[in-house]
Amino acid sequence: MRTQANILRHLIREMLETDETPALAGRMTNASVYRDIERVQDIFKFNGTRLTLRDPSTRPFAKIAPEEIEQVLTGMIEQAGYEVIGIVPPRGTDGDSGPFSSMYNAFKVIPKGGRSGVSRHFYVVFGFKYSAAESIQFEAIREGLIKAIAENEGNPISVWNGAQFVEVDDADRIGGKGEKADVILTRSGAPAISISLKNLAKGKGSDMQQWSGVSEVITHPEVAAFAERVKIGYRDGEGSNFWRRINDEELKMKAVWGPLGETVDVIVAGTMPRLEPTGDPGMYRIDVGIGMHGTGGVFYRTDGVIPGGELDPVFFARKEAAKKLGTLKGVRGMIAPIALATSRKSTEI
């Protein structure tokens, strides 16, 4: 019987029996390791969807035993030309590194057979705490920062935060459930600029997952009214997904930038972020690549901007087990880009 699990097991065997190892990228970083893994995954798909760096609780992993999941992920790493030399358990650390994924193993890897000029190991995290795309984006920012500091004779550099240039000398990866910021640029360990990363790989608003949830604002009149209307929509069979425009500009601001005290300074929406020199010594602005469809950019909270067009925040609800929208069980409510909300055969209500 060709179940998801059996198809996946066949692909595991096929992958592990393949001896060919791809040529690895020239300069090795955590970001390049992730990209090496992504590149080889055309040979390992399920229903046309890449399995690389996915949360192993989702399909088609859901009915696979833990040891088989570990075999899948190890196979992905080995197929990309790396060797697993250690596994860090959930919530575990490896010396001063970590903690890693909250639920799944993190893999400590080196290039297969060693590599001239490479003396360090790398970590590949499969799990939900950080998405692979955001990990790659973070590494791009951090490596750009290290390079800029080196070019500035080891001195801190100044980065534009939307209002002024602020001195920074390091970058911390944060994020995870409930966190608005993904990256904090720091100066002597103190927060200086907070950044939210939005991966728009194709340059579409529908590339994004959401701006925010609605559980913390469920008593807001517009949110409550939307939840009640969704309940009616499901009762009357009007559709599976529902969306509605938001009138309250303050609610949209909070969804995009975060509530008071938890706001971010910069939103970086696109492909690979970078630090661009301004022309003045040690002065930089954040920039980002834009996918082929053209949506994205760098936005600053001090400008009071709510991204529009495909990124315009709207209410969106869809069926999802273990979620709840108000009193309605099995439904996930959110504030999402309009391009995402309208790409799912949604009913406007």
Confirm if 28 and 84 have CB atoms less than 8 A apart.
no
φ, ψ for residue 132, nearest 5 deg: -60, -40
Interval 118-139: pLDDT, tens: 556 777 766 433 455 666 788 7
Residue of higher predicted confidence among 143 and 60: 143
- 42 or 278, which is more confident: 278
Cα 70 from chain centroid?
Answer: 22
Least confident of 129-133, 165-169, 282-286, 308-312: 129-133
Q: What is the mean pLDDT of residues 276-293?
A: 93
The pLDDT tens digits for 193-241 are 999 998 887 888 988 888 999 988 999 999 999 999 999 999 999 999 9
Q: In the prediction, which pLDDT does 220 show?
A: 96
CB within 8 Å of 208: residues ≥ 6 apart: 198, 199, 200, 269, 311, 336, 337, 339, 340
Task: Cite the DSSP H helix spans in 152-281.
Answer: 221-235, 249-257
> What are the backbone dihedrals phi and psi of residue 143, each rounded to the nearest 5 degrees, phi first?
-65, -35
Q: What angle do CA 244, 297, 157 make, to 5 degrees?
A: 135
Backbone angles phi, psi at 134, to 5 degrees: -70, -30
Given a contact cutoff of 8 angstroms between Cβ atoms, the answer to whether 182 and 138 are in contact is yes
pTM for the full model? 0.66
Of 81-85, 234-238, 242-246, the one with minimum mean pLDDT is 81-85
Q: Kindly indicate the confidence band of residue 306, based on its pLDDT and cuts at 50, 70 and 90.
A: very high
User: Which one has a higher pLDDT value, 292 or 297?
Assistant: 297
